[in-house]
Chain A
Amino acid sequence: MQVTSSVREPLVTGGKTYHDVTHDVSRHVEAKPNIRWFLAFLTSAGVLALGSIAVIATVWEGIGMWGLNKTVGWAWDITNFVWWVGIGHAGTLISAVLLLFRQKWRTSINRAAEAMTIFAVICAAMFPVLHMGRPWLGAYWALPLPNVFGSLWVNFNSPLLWDVFAISTYFSVSLVFWYIGLIPDFATIRDRATGLRKIIYGALSFGWDGAAKSWSRYESVSLILAGLATPLVLSVHTIVSFDFATSVIPGWHTTIFPPYFVAGAIFSGFAMVLTLMIVTRKVYKLEDYITMGHIELMNIVIIITGSIVGIAYITEFFIAWYSGVEAEQYAFINRATGPYWWAYWSMMTCNVISPQLFWFKKIRTSIVATFALSIVVNIGMWFERFVIIVTSLHRDYLPSSWAMFYPTWADVGVYLFTFGLFFTLFFLFAKFFPVINMAEVKSVLKSSSDKVHK
């Protein structure tokens, strides 16, 4: 039964009953995959296969396959790493921070956003692992295993090592959080199924029985995990920013990096959620669950975080001038007017100017405009990381070492590989997993009620 309140817009439209929720979400898992799904899946798997040539070449030949040189030692690899990790921030933000703030609209989008988070973090992790050059020895460099390659232990003073702990903790806690939420929904699919599907989803549902006691514990676990994941999600991009901020490269050595990176991460993450959800809601006809209200709220988050990012860019510039340090001043003038001016101004246009269009209600409630701008934002956020990394490095301390960075086919190929991986995983998720958290949507159908009609 759908409930309407006289003072609030319903979170789910279309007069859905509990059974409708079950049916609208489960039917996509139960239906045979159609030709469009196969085409989409095969395309992304094809990109994955194509990109894996570059990955194999990189592992076989070494990272000399990339366009790095002795001046620009970090370029596309770390740009892509930070970009993917940033995208991976929206899911846990939606499910954890919005849970603590009791934002009930999150229930329709948290499942897919968390899935996106997990896949994005997997893609991100590809880059530091490949950048090791000899990833099969990586465990000695990344984990506290005693070895004689250098010092006995890893260096706990290094932000790169903090990153290993931050990313792996973030990945595993997000995965557990996501899976706990999936258990009751797998049970729903189990109870509708027969035969093999019943056995598979029965195992996936871990024998969920829906008892009040189980739900009570489930809610306890969700709340505590949300409480733990909230500082965790903020810590991850903070620590990623430490990779830069704790070094003494002009353009990196700034205390503004942690909040600025976190805001940028939420900004790009919400943009990616919008890109994916706009397509998913259309293809799966979920417009009653992911309503215009959801899209508008996410667009408002994009305006806020986009403006924070914009202010951070300007502050950085001001502080570089105000510090009186010539190297810092040069680094920033060089960003805006040097050989990489086009990257800087792409970043400024995509991240600072274009999201301001969302101040117009017409634009932030338009599907087409939101979809287009969400892609623009992610292009802008890629350029942001490229600008920070490459333009700060390419002017070395000695002018004789000044260089440019040119990506090779292997750089492009590894980036394509992660796109293939991301979309292959997302299409598998969209087909075999319930894309909307049914149990939580059911729990908000009625909660804002003052009137019930059947």
Chain B
Amino acid sequence: MERDTHFVTGVYEDEDVLLQAITQVRSSGIKIHEVYSPYPVHGIDDYLGYKRSKLPIAAFLFGLLGTTLALTMQFYMMKFDWPMIIGGKDYGAFPDFIPVTFELTVLLASFGMVGVFMVSTNLKPWAQPRIFDLRITDDKHVMAIDIANNSAMELAKIEEILKSSGASEVNKKSFE
């Protein structure tokens, strides 16, 4: 990052308090940068107004690709490229191709979806994540508010809203 970015963070102890706080903070006109939690909080997407993930669509498309590739490969090899009579069956013995087709569908759907997940969530061994508070992977929920995105509101006012919404601590955090 070239320019410094400054955040106000509210630390929450409890997921129910956090969900109420999200509603309160959003209704007071503050834009929330992101909320960080040690575990998936049920229903938090709706409170933050996040849309449903499109990953299932990615999985479906990759699965479709797997099915197509598997069937094409088996028919090409067994029926067209090198036909052989095996057990008196048809060269293109479709029922015999189902198991491998199924496995390749699952394989491509899983790997494709996980690949999309890694790219979209920026997961890679050398990634340097912004850690707003070391306790977010332990026992605290942290709501981060980008000051630059909320320039209409005074800093003290944001801090006051966070406090009144149930935050146990309100801190400032900057990244280079």
Contacts and interface: CB of A to CB of B under 8 A. Distances in A.
A134 interface: no
B107 A206 contact: no
Given A157-B96, A212-B37, A228 B15 contact: no
Interface in B101-153: 102-104, 106-107, 109-111, 113-114, 117-118, 120-131, 134-139
B59 A224 contact: yes
Interface in A401-454: 438-440, 442-443, 446-447, 452
A5 interface: no
A169 B129 contact: no
B44 interface: yes
A192 interface: yes
A42 B55 CA distance: 44
A351 interface: no
Contact of A184 (B73, B78, B137): B137
A239 B99 contact: yes
Contacts of A180: 114, 117
A442 B39 contact: yes
A446 B139 CA distance: 13
A191 B107 contact: no
Contacts of B122: 207
B7 interface: no
A191 B139 CA distance: 12
B160 interface: no
Contacts of A183: 123
Nearest to A177: B110
Given A211-B34, A212-B44, A217-B121, A165 B137 contact: no
A235 B102 contact: yes
Interface string B3-38: 000000000011110000000000000000011111
Nearest to B40: A215
Contacts of A151: 82, 84
A440 B36 contact: no
A173 B113 CA distance: 11
Give the most central of A169, A180, A218: most B CB within 10 Å: A169
Counting chain B residues whose Cβ lies within 8 A of the other chain, the interface size class is 35 or more
A379 interface: no
Interface in A115-162: 144, 151-157, 159, 161-162
B139 A22 contact: yes
B106 A169 contact: yes
A311 interface: no
Contacts of B14: 1, 452
A156 B72 CA distance: 12
Interface in A87-134: none
B165 interface: no
B99 A224 contact: no
A17 B129 CA distance: 26
Interface string A9-20: 000000001110
Interface residues of A, number: 66
A147 B87 CA distance: 22
Given A1-B14, A169-B103, A207-B127, A215 B41 contact: yes
B53 A188 contact: no
Nearest to B123: A206
Contact of A209 (B77, B97, B120, B129): B129
A216 B77 contact: no
A157 B87 CA distance: 9
Query: Nearest 5 pairs between A and B by C-beta?
Result: A207-B127, A18-B139, A206-B123, A209-B129, A442-B39
Given A220-B55, A228-B63, 13 more contacts: A18-B139, A152-B82, A173-B111, A177-B110, A212-B37, A213-B50, A215-B40, A218-B40, A220-B52, A224-B109, A224-B113, A440-B39, A442-B139
13 contacts: A22-B139, A152-B81, A156-B96, A162-B103, A176-B110, A191-B135, A192-B138, A206-B127, A208-B129, A215-B37, A217-B117, A224-B56, A443-B39
Interface of A: 1, 17-19, 22, 144, 151-157, 159, 161-162, 165-166, 169, 172-173, 176-177, 180, 183-184, 187-188, 190-192, 203-204, 206-221, 224-225, 228-229, 231-232, 235, 239, 242, 438-440, 442-443, 446-447, 452
